[in-house]
A and B are shown apart, each in its own frame.
Chain A
Amino acid sequence: MRAAHPPEFDAVYRAHVGFVWRAVRRFGVAEADLEDAVHEVFLVVHRQLAGFDGRAAITSWLYAIARGVASNRRRSVQRRERHDALAPEPTAELDPAERLARARAAEVIERFLGGLPAEQRLIFELFEIEGMRGAEIAEAIDLNVNTVFTRLRAARQRFSAFLAEHHAREGRASDG
C-alpha cells in the first residue's frame, strides 16, 4: 500500500540527517568521508522518495540505504584514503566548555558501548540514541522483534550497572 503523500524531501533531510550521519559512521565510514557518504545517502533518498510506500518506517528505510552506501564506499577504499588525509572539522559552533563536557559524556558512553556485544550495542544505540521502536529495529536489522527486546533488556541492565559504577567512581574522585 503506497502512502497517500510521500514525505517532503527537505523535511526528511532535516529530521533525519543526524540519524543518517551516525548510521554511516556505525557502518564504518571514515570520519573525513562522512559528509560525502551522507550526501550520497540523501541523493538516493531524493530519487526514491516518491516511491517510498510507507510500509516500512522511514528510519528503517534510511538505515537500509545508509548500509548500502556505506558498503559501496568500503569497496572504494582508495578514494576514501585520499579523503582520510583531510583533518576532521572541529565543531567550532560550540563554546569550549560545552564541547569538552560533550566530549567527556561521549567518552563515557563510548566506553560503555565498547563493552557490549556487537548486536546488543547496535540495538541499544538504535533504540536509546536514535529513538527507533522495537519493530523498526527488527525490520532494519532483519531480526525477530522478541530477540530485539531481549537484547535491549540485557543492554539496559548492563547500562544501569555501568552508570552506578561510573557515578560511584565520580563520587570517589570528587571526595578524594
Chain B
Amino acid sequence: MADERPISGPGRDLLAAYKAHMGPSPAAVERIAAALQEDSAKVIDLRSRRRWIVAAGLLLAAAIGLLALQSTLVPRHAAQGDAAAKYERAPEVPSPVQAREVVAPAQAPEEVPAPPEPAPTRPRRDAPVQAPQGPSLAEEMLDMRAAQAALAGGATAEALALLDAYARKFPDGRLHEEYLALRAIALCTGEPPAGQAEAAAFLAAHPRSVFASRVRGACEF
C-alpha cells in the first residue's frame, strides 16, 4: 500500500533531524538505563531474599521432619508394636503451599529471620541494598507479580489473597490500577457474577487502561 511508505526526499532529512533533536541525549539514555538497572537489582535482591526465606522454611521443615523421623525410628527398634503408626506420622513436612505461606506479601521481608545454616556464601554486591524508606515501587511490583503469577497459574483464590494483602500493605499503592484490574480478572475467573461488577467499575474508571482489553476478555464484556 502506497500509504505505508514514509516520505522520502529532502523532507526526510529534516524529519530525521527533528526526531534526533526531540529525543533523549545519549547521556540521558544511559542514566535512565543505570537507574532501571538499580531498580531491577532491588527487585532481584528482594526476590533472592524471598528465595532464602523459602529455602529457610524448607530447611526448617526438613529438620523437623528428620527429627520426627528419628523420634519414630528409634522407638521402632525398641518397641516394634506401635512403630508403624509412628512412622506414618513422621513425614510432617509442610507442603510446598504451606512453605510458600512463609513468603506471604503481608509479611515484611525485614521481619523474617535470616536462614539459620548455612550462611549464604554467594558474593554480595559491594553496597548492600538498604531497606527502602517507606514502600518502594520495587516492593509493590514484587507483590503484584506474585499475584499475577498465581493468577496465571490458575490459583485464583491465592491471587485474590495476595491482592488483598497488597491492598492492606500499600493502601496508597502506585499500582492501584493494576490491582483493580487483576482483582476483576481474578474474580471473573473464579466467580463470574462477582467479577462483572468489579470489571464494570474498573472499565468505567480506567477506560483507556492498558489492562482494559484483558479485563474485558476475562469478564466477557
Query: Which A positions have Cβ atoms within 8 angstroms of B?
Result: 9, 13, 17-18, 21-22, 25, 34-35, 38-39, 42-43, 46-48, 51, 55, 61, 64-65, 67-68, 89, 91-93, 101-103, 105-106, 108-110, 127-131, 133-134, 142, 149, 152-153, 156, 159-160, 163, 167
B6 with A127: CB separation less than 8 A:
yes
Cβ of A105 and Cβ of B14 under 8 Å apart?
yes
CB pair B4–A18 under 8 Å, yes or no, is no
| 30 A-B pairs with C-beta separation under 8 A | A9-B40, A13-B32, A18-B23, A18-B24, A21-B22, A21-B24, A22-B19, A25-B22, A34-B28, A35-B24, A35-B31, A39-B36, A42-B36, A43-B39, A46-B40, A47-B145, A48-B210, A51-B148, A64-B208, A65-B210, A68-B177, A89-B28, A93-B27, A105-B18, A106-B21, A109-B15, A128-B7, A128-B15, A153-B3, A163-B10
- Please report the C-alpha to C-alpha distance between residue A130 and residue B20 in the assembled complex, in whole angstroms: 11
Q: Which of B13, B18, B26, B33 contacts A13 (CB 8 A)?
A: B33
Bound-complex Cα distance A108 to B40 (A): 40
What is the CB-to-nearest-CB distance from A30 to chain B, in angstroms, rounded to a whole number?
A: 14
Cβ distance A37 to chain B, nearest Cβ, rounded Å: 10
Contact B208 A105 (CB under 8 A): no
Instruction: Report Cα–Cα, A111/B31, bound state, in Å.
Output: 31
Across the interface, A106 reaches (CB within 8 A) one of B22, B28, B210, B213, namely: B22
Smallest CB separation, A11 vs chain B (Å): 12
Residue among A42, A130, A131 with max Cβ neighbours from chain B (10 Å): A42
Which of chain A's residues have a CB closer than 8 A to the CB of B18?
105-106, 108-110, 129
Inside 8 A of B152's CB, which chain A residues have their CB? 51
| Contact pattern, B 124-145, Cβ under 8 Å of A = 1, otherwise 0 | 0000000000000100010011
Chain A nearest CB from B184 CB (Å) reads 15
Closest to A89 in B: B25
- Across the interface, B11 reaches (CB within 8 A) one of A17, A134, A159, namely A159
Residue from A38, A105, A152 in contact with B21 in the complex, judged by beta carbons closer than 8 Å: A105
| CB pair A92 B20 closer than 8 Å | no
> Are the CB atoms of A17 and B3 closer together than 8 Å?
no
Shortest 7 CB-CB contacts between residues of A and residues of B: A105-B17, A106-B21, A109-B18, A18-B23, A21-B24, A47-B141, A106-B18
Specify the chain B residue showing the minimal Cβ separation from A35.
B28
Question: Does B29 make an interface contact (CB < 8 A)?
Answer: yes
B209 at the interface (CB under 8 A from A): yes
Give the residues from 22 to 77 in chain B that come closer than 8 angstroms, CB to CB, to chain A.
22-29, 31-33, 35-36, 39-40
Considering the chains assembled together, what is the distance between the CA atoms of A78 and B213 in angstroms? 33
- Return chain B residues, CB-CB under 8 Å to A133: 4
